[in-house]
Amino acid sequence: MDLTSVQDLKGALRNDFFHGYATAAAQVEGAWNKDGKGPSIWDTFGHTPGKVKDNSNADDAVRFYDFYREDVALMKSYGVNAYRFSLSWSRIIPLGGADDPVNEQGIKYYQDLVDELLNNGITPFVTLFHWDVPQALEDRYGGMLNQERFIPDFVRYARVCFERLGPKVRHWITFNEPGVYSLAGYAAGVHAPARSSFRELNEEGDSSTEPFIVGHTELVTHGHVSKLYREVFQPQQKGTIGITLHGNWSEPWDEDDPRDQEAAERAREFEIAWFADPLYKTGDYPASMRAQLGDRLPRFTPEESKLVLGSSEFYGMNSYTTFFVQHKDTPPDINDHKGNVIVHDTNSKGVSRGEESDTPWLRTAPTGWRKLLNWIWNRYHVPIYVTENGTTAKGETAPTPEVLIDTFRMRFFEGYVGGLARAVKEDGVDIRSYFAWTFTDNWEWAAGYTDRFGCTFIDFDSPMKTRYPKQSAYYLKALFEHLIAS
């Protein structure tokens, strides 16, 4: 593909713009019980029959633990200048707790990875938590449902990471998508730790309360970790710390109906402002959430509110698609977490939300993406780091020439990265990074190995998990060479 559609955007992005790939430890590392690593809730989930679409697990994943040097070299050939990855908490502290021993082999693995990246001119962005609570803490006290016990355990884990990796790491993210962790794990019950009100699916849980308790724990824990970093480590290490939130654009189903306009805004508040308002705007949850949820939504103490507000130095943004949202006249269901709306794939005029990928919820929608960048910037006015964005493509079952020349994914990147550059140049939005999801095909949580998001095809059946570069990796390289100011 050529760069015609972005020809007028040459040099639109700042000269220190970060671009690369994002991954998560549980999805790529493998070596699930190697060199002292303890089990996480995702190891347990993957080993539970019937939980994962293709009955797979991440015991080996793509063997990034074994092949990280080769992978960093491949990344370098893709022209990236940054790489976002997560640490496995149970690889560093196998039992997870504040008084539990540190696994030196786990620490050394991440130190070696950071060195390998830096030696290749790639800046590490490190995520402390990407959904994999140590199973020992889940067994001990219920993980994030117990805020009082969870916070000191996580803060100690963070301290170990800052002490041992912080001298060479300048970019820290505390939690990845706290909302998705809460909703998929505790409302729908389709992710670890697999809790919900739906007894045909989960033995335990309460979808009407637990997601909001867990979300609150994540926000307050983030506040404590940010305070620790900024007071103890930042003066010497000179790094930055923030959080990454998920959120897709909600577009009114009938753009001329004020009720649908309100419903779309409410949907954005339930999905995004749930976390972003306490962090960047008010120190409290949106009024629309309180109105619907009442006391099922936890309340911040004055101390917690002060701790959380202003605790993230940037807006970490994960986003993929757009949905059409219609108002509902009936009262909300007790297990509703979307703001009492109806979600559609087409609007009132029959217009589709976008071209289909290989993942039912994900359609290509760059117009909504640009609107969302503006919405976040206008509401919060903090620098945006895009920490995840990407797509699957239909028919990627073998590394054939047709699959490796992945025009669908290239079209996706053209629309989204181009839209990002226009948001910077034409709308004045402050955006400082773009991390594509993802570097290689990986173990995509409950979808197993069926969802291929990678710019590198993986032969999962081969012992070496053989890598085959897709054309989209080189397209992204050319795109950023054009867009980033010299």
Task: Report d(CA 220, CA 281) in Å as an integer.
Answer: 15
Question: pLDDT value at position 2?
Answer: 87
Quote the pLDDT of residue 427.
Answer: 98
> Could you confirm whether 200 is annotated as catalytic?
no
218 part of the active site = no
Q: Walk along the chain (486 residues) and give the pLDDT tens digit of each residue.
A: 889 999 999 999 999 999 999 999 999 999 999 999 999 999 999 999 999 999 999 999 999 999 999 999 999 999 999 999 999 999 999 999 999 999 999 999 999 999 999 999 999 999 999 999 999 999 999 999 999 999 999 999 999 999 999 999 999 999 999 999 999 999 999 999 999 999 999 999 999 999 999 999 999 999 999 999 999 999 999 999 999 999 999 999 999 999 999 999 999 999 999 999 999 999 999 999 999 999 999 999 999 999 999 999 999 999 999 999 999 999 999 999 999 999 999 999 999 999 999 999 999 999 999 999 999 999 999 999 999 999 999 999 999 999 999 999 999 999 999 999 999 999 999 999 999 999 999 999 999 999 999 999 999 999 999 999 999 999 999 999 999 999
Annotated active-site residue in 388, 396, 414, 444: 388
Catalytic, out of 29, 116, 138, 177? 177
CB atoms within 10 A of CB 401: 7
**Helical (H) or strand (E) element with 251:** strand 249-252
Domain ranges, ordered by start, for the chain: 4-484
Q: How far apart are CA 230 and CA 61, in angstroms?
A: 35
The residues with which 173 forms a beta bridge, in sequence order, are 127, 242
pTM: 0.98
Q: Kindly report the backbone phi and psi dihedral angles of residue 114, in degrees, each rounded to the nearest multiple of 5, phi listed first.
A: -60, -45
Q: What is the pLDDT of residue 378?
A: 98
pLDDT score of 403? 98
What architecture (CATH level 2) is domain 4-484? Alpha-Beta Barrel (3.20)
Residue 191 DSSP SS3: coil
Residues in Cβ contact with 162 at an 8 Å cutoff, skipping those fewer than 6 apart = 172, 228, 229, 232, 233, 237
What are 249's strand-pairing partners? 322
Give the dihedral sign, CA 52/56/59/65. Answer: negative
pLDDT of residue 110: 99
The confidence score (pLDDT) of residue 1 equals 80
